[in-house]
Amino acid sequence: MLRAILVALIAATPAMARDTGRIFVSNERSHDVWVFSPDFEHIATIETSRRPRDMKLNADRTLLYVACGDDDVIEVIDVETLEIVDSIPTGPSPEVFEFSPDESLIYVSNEEDSMLEIIEVDSRIVIHDVATGAEPEGVITSEDGSTVYVTSEVADMVHVIDTEAGAVIDNIIVGTRPRRFILTPDTNELWVSAELSSEICIIDRARLEIKEVLQFLPPGFRPEDVTPVGMALTADGARGYISLGRANHVAVIDGFTHELIDYVLVGRRAWSIALTRDETLAVVVNGLSDDITLIDTASLRPIRSIPVGQVPHTVVIDD
Amino acid sequence: MRIVIIIAFALWSSIAAAQEVVSIALLGLDPDPRYDEAIAYARIENGRQGDPQIAARMAMEDLLLLTDARGVNIGFSAVRVADEAALPTATRQLADSGNRYLILDLPAKEADAVAVALGPNGPLLINTTAPEDWLRRRCHARMLHTAASDRMIADALVQHFVKMRWERVLVLHGKTDRDIARAASFAEAAARFRLRIVATREFDLSTNPALREQNNVALLTGDIREYDAVFIADSFGEFSRYLPYRTALPRPVVGATDLVPLEWHWSLERYGAPQVNSRFETAVGDSRRMTWQDWSVWIAMRALLTAEAKSLERDPNAIEAFLRSDALRLDGSKGAQLSFRPWDNQLRQPILLATANAIIGMAPLEGFLHQTNTLDSLGVDAPEFACD
């Protein structure tokens, strides 16, 4: 039924970006996705399956995929109508996922049974499971789709997975409780946030070795308060934004030299970060204060905090 | 699929230099007098629910990819002896057979005896289930502690008292050394924050009319103008389970029932704790939940494996130095970086304030600060600590 609607929808309207400018925030505890207009008016609440976490737009930005951890499903939201139009079953407790470059596959970490699951989007078939260390979390695909990187929060490592072979080909030992990734556009770096050792490990992708470790300390905080998770990078790779979790700040760094530019005060336990396409605003999700903070990227000042649902997880912007 | 991974690791491991086996043993008693079912009256949960060695094996499984990647091979064995008399021989055998680490699941007196017997050149010991403050003050150079001390447990509760402005406290305790020690630790913690202990009374489990001041709840908790809360130290749990809702003044009862400070509880929902609990429940297979003793053994094994794999050292002394340093940055799924305090070899860690099915707070509570590490607001701090 749902698929029929989806097919009909796709047939009726040529797939193209609507450029709605809408901002989507998933809320783990209230089991919904809040939708904001480009001027941050709350315009809709989409009820999802339980515990929505990571979200990704497809390439033409018509569909928003939402991993719902407690119902073992990735739901698909039409970005324009804001209806749930499809759902893709996954293994237990999907947390973070990524598409292959041609969007034919979804790579999803299953936190509960320590697997990276590879799902064929069209057929819904799990074509492969790759065993990972306990509590896999961050997932990112290389630009050419040949490699997937996955963190294991418990084993403190990044698994390097060859997608052709469907096998782990290397493991890189990083800091404590590694979480999320960023790929830099042209410096061939993989950034990994290590939440409990308060570090960003910068991996040289050619050698698969850590080449630099970044640490942050906003004024008035202690090293153990700094629990980095979310990261965002400008399209040219020139500037990075790193959320510092319990230290309630975002660190802004030079994407090439990795030098600190500034700290910006945000809400409690800052996690996910997204940039608007014109990169004038950074939107930061604050998991313990149930709000988002908007940062003006020119002045590097927080300009507004806006309430969202309970325990917000991820922000995605369609603009 | 698995085969491919195993081959990959085999290749990796063959590159790694030394292929020595690091031997770790868990030493305990069976039966352990602390969990004697005869002590508890009727089916109440008395301490732990099963052998925590499953938690040690779970930690090995959790970190297997990491230890494999570093070419660290772990050998693990669990030895349980029938009584105190059999301990010295078992201890000596474990040391002589090359165990680098002994994880102790022993009462404080027996753990102390093991440390004395092995002396300064024996394997490194980790005390996982003896919370006694006096064992810390014995200052065994080769003993670390992952069980939270009585004082840490008491400080966690006192922080909650201060936060809730429960300033006048009625303290009740049983006749056992454990209960008296717990009540004494609570009194020390209460003194630091100037809580007022309005009375300290010993309860009695009998129904002897001559002892009614001690075994009648109304009398035991009465004849006092005012108290804001009742703290009870009751390691058997038999008296305390009948105390709430029967106190002379309608006040909360905490410590051994209702609100209990613990290292771990199944209902913690954050920091990856649900995943640890579900891995444990899968591993144990008989639907029992992970207790604080299980967590304490799990974190002891995690600490050892983390130091072996992440120190980038092969020299045992250098690995041990890493284990004891701030660089350990151990993750116990309680949202904080854990490490061992140099002054008393105690693992610094958050303490949960748990009811039967919820976490009411996690100490250090917000607003309780410390000059170097807020986790050190729990337990005896460096300037106050002295060896016996």
| Chain A residue nearest residue B68, CA to CA | A171
Task: Please state, rounded to an integer, the average pLDDT across all residues of chain A.
Answer: 92
| Mean pLDDT calculated for residue range A21-46 | 96
Predicted model pTM: 0.88
pLDDT at A108 (0 to 100)? 96
Q: Examine residue B382 and state whether it is found in any structural domain, yes or no.
A: no
pLDDT given at position B350: 98
The ipTM value here is 0.81
Chain A CB contacts of B336 below 8 Å: 196, 224
Closest residue, chain A, to B372 (C-alpha): A222
Q: Is residue B383 part of a domain?
A: no
Inter-chain touch A135–B272, beta carbons under 8 Å:
yes
Predicted local distance difference test score (pLDDT) of residue B294: 96
Structural domain harbouring B256: 151-260
DSSP state at residue B98: T
**Domain A17-317 falls under CATH 2.130.10.10:** yes
Question: At residue B27, what is the residue type?
Answer: L
What pLDDT, on a 0 to 100 scale, did the predictor assign at position B188? 96
Q: Does A127 touch chain B (CB under 8 A)?
A: no
**CB < 8 Å to B373, chain A:** 222, 224
C-alpha span between B239 and B338 (Å, rounded): 35
pLDDT the model gives residue A3:
52
Asked if B301 and B309 count as a contact pair (C-beta separation under 8 A), the reply is no
Token pair recorded at residue A273 = 């970060």
CA distance A135 to chain B (A): 7
Tokens 């999802």 locate to: A48
Would B142 be classed as within a structural domain?
Answer: yes
Evaluate whether residue B354 is within a structural domain.
Answer: no
* Same domain? B187 vs B124: no
Whether A173 contacts chain B with CB within 8 A = yes
In a domain, B377, yes or no: no
Q: Which helix (H) or strand (E) holds B170?
A: strand B168-173
Pick A155's closest partner by Cβ from B63, B279, B375.
Answer: B63
Residue of chain A whose alpha carbon sits nearest to that of B61: A134
Q: Tell me the domain boundaries of chain A.
A: 17-317
Q: Are residues B188 and B62 in the same domain?
A: no
Task: Identify the pLDDT of residue A30.
Answer: 96
What's the domain count of chain B?
A: 2
C-beta separation of B102 from B114 below 8 A: yes
In single-letter form, the type of residue at position B48 comes to R
Q: What is the per-residue pLDDT across A261-291, written as a single tens digit (0 to 9) for each?
A: 999 999 999 999 999 999 999 999 999 899 9
Residue with tokens 């440390």: B115
Q: Tell me, yes or no, whether B379 lies in a domain.
A: no
The number of CA neighbours under 13 Å toward the Cβ of A244 is 25
Residues A167, B62: C-beta atoms closer than 8 Å: no
Distance CA B109, CA A141 (A): 55
Q: How far apart are CA A222 and CA B370, in angstroms?
A: 11
Q: Is residue B386 part of a domain?
A: no
- CB B239, CB B205: distance < 8 Å: yes
B221 and B192 share a domain?
yes
Query: Looking at residues A176-196, what average pLDDT do you find?
Result: 94
Both B206 and B306 in one domain: the answer is: no
Task: Please name the residues in contact with B26: beta carbons below 8 A apart, sequence gap of 6 or more.
Answer: B52, B53, B56, B76, B77, B78, B79, B102, B103, B104, B105, B297
Task: Give the CATH number of the domain where residue B339 resides.
Answer: 3.40.50.2300
With a pLDDT cut of 90, the percent of chain A lying above it is 88
Is B225 within the bounds of a domain?
A: yes
Residues of B in contact with A166 (CB under 8 A): 1, 4
B45 and B169 both lie in a single domain = no
Q: What are phi and psi of A212, to 5 degrees?
A: -160, 145
| B235 and B322 together in one domain | no
Say whether both B47 and B127 belong to one domain. Answer: yes
Q: Which of B315, B330, B349 is the last residue in one of the domains?
A: B349
Catalogue the E-assigned strands of B192-289: 196-202, 229-233, 253-254, 260-262
Give mean pLDDT in consecutive 10-residue pieces for chain B, a chain of 388 residues: 44 50 96 74 58 96 91 95 92 95 97 95 96 97 97 98 97 95 97 96 90 91 95 91 95 95 94 93 89 96 96 92 95 95 98 96 95 95 95
- Can you tell me the mean pLDDT for A235-242? 96
Q: Do B66 and A156 touch (CB under 8 A)?
A: yes
User: Regarding predicted confidence, which is higher, B200 or A17?
Assistant: B200
Which pLDDT score is estimated for B36?
73
Q: Mean pLDDT across the stretch A136-144?
A: 95
Report the residue from A131, A133, A156 with minimal CB separation from B2. A131
- Domain check: are B21 and B141 in the same one? yes
Final residue of a domain: which of B260, B279, B298? B260
How far is it, in rounded angstroms, from Cα B388 to Cα B385?
A: 10
- Show the CA angle centred on residue B244, arms to residues B242 and B250, nearest 5°: 140
Closest approach of A313 to chain B, Cα-based (Å): 13
Q: Which of B237, B260, B283 is where one domain is finished?
A: B260
- Tokens 């008395």 belong to residue: B46
Taking residues A152-181, what's their average pLDDT?
95
Taking the C-alpha atoms of residue A139 and residue A127, their distance in angstroms, rounded to an integer, is 17
The 10s digit of each residue's pLDDT in A38-63 is 999 999 999 999 999 999 999 999 99
Tens digits of per-residue pLDDT, B329-371? Answer: 999 999 999 999 999 999 999 999 999 999 999 999 999 999 9
Assess whether B287 and B340 both reside in one domain.
yes
